[in-house]
């Protein structure tokens, strides 16, 4: 009886059991590929959002360091002007005015240079590297490699 039922089902479907199974596998593979493409798109969007967030954080730190350097530069300029005038006048009492101005200018220029170097050290280029994004992308690559294999 089982043989008769399976042979009658062949008559109605016109297909062999193997071809029906192969068709189901093809549909299953197609849906898996479609789902994989959809998940990859979602993953890519999330990675881009993470990268943007990290770059915004880094930009905020760069802005802070830049403001610190600008403030240092303004203080340096004001200091140079006031000290230059006062110290040159004081030293001009003991030496030629041109020599007093030269000495004071050289000392203040050195102090200003050191202040600028201090601000420059606050620029940490490592904060510009999106480490979390890189780690996430590495994990995603491993996951995709495992799923495809």
Instruction: Give me the tens of pLDDT residue by residue for the chain, a chain 149 residues long.
Output: 444 444 444 444 555 556 666 666 767 877 888 888 888 889 889 988 888 888 898 899 999 999 999 999 999 889 878 877 888 999 999 999 999 989 988 988 898 899 999 888 877 776 777 788 888 888 888 888 887 77
pTM of the predicted model as reported, rounded to 2 decimal places: 0.36
* Residue 127 CB contacts under 8 Å (≥ 6 apart), including other chains: 57, 58, 61, 62
Query: What pLDDT is stored for residue 63 in this prediction?
Result: 92
Rg (alpha carbons) of the chain, rounded to whole number: 37
CA atoms 72, 75, 81, 85: torsion sign = negative
Give me the phi and psi of 90, to 5 degrees please: -65, -50
DSSP state for residue 125 in the 8-state scheme: G
pLDDT single digits (tens) 17-37: 566 666 667 678 778 888 888
| Rounded Cα–Cα distance for residues 108 and 106 (Å) | 6
């Amino acid at each position: 009886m089982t043989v008769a039922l399976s042979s009658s089902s062949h008559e109605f479907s016109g297909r062999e059991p193997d071809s029906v199974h192969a068709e189901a596998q093809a549909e299953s593979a197609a849906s898996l590929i479609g789902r994989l493409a959809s998940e990859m798109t979602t993953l890519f969007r999330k990675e881009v959002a993470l990268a943007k967030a990290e770059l915004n954080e880094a930009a905020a730190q760069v802005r802070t360091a830049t403001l610190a350097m600008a403030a240092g530069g303004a203080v340096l300029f004001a200091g140079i002007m006031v000290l230059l005038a006062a110290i040159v006048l004081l030293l001009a009492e003991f030496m030629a005015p041109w020599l007093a101005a030269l000495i004071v200018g050289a000392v203040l220029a050195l102090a200003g240079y050191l202040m600028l170097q201090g601000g420059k050290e606050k620029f940490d280029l490592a904060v510009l590297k999106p480490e979390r994004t890189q780690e996430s992308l590495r994990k995603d690559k491993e996951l995709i490699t495992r799923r495809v294999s």
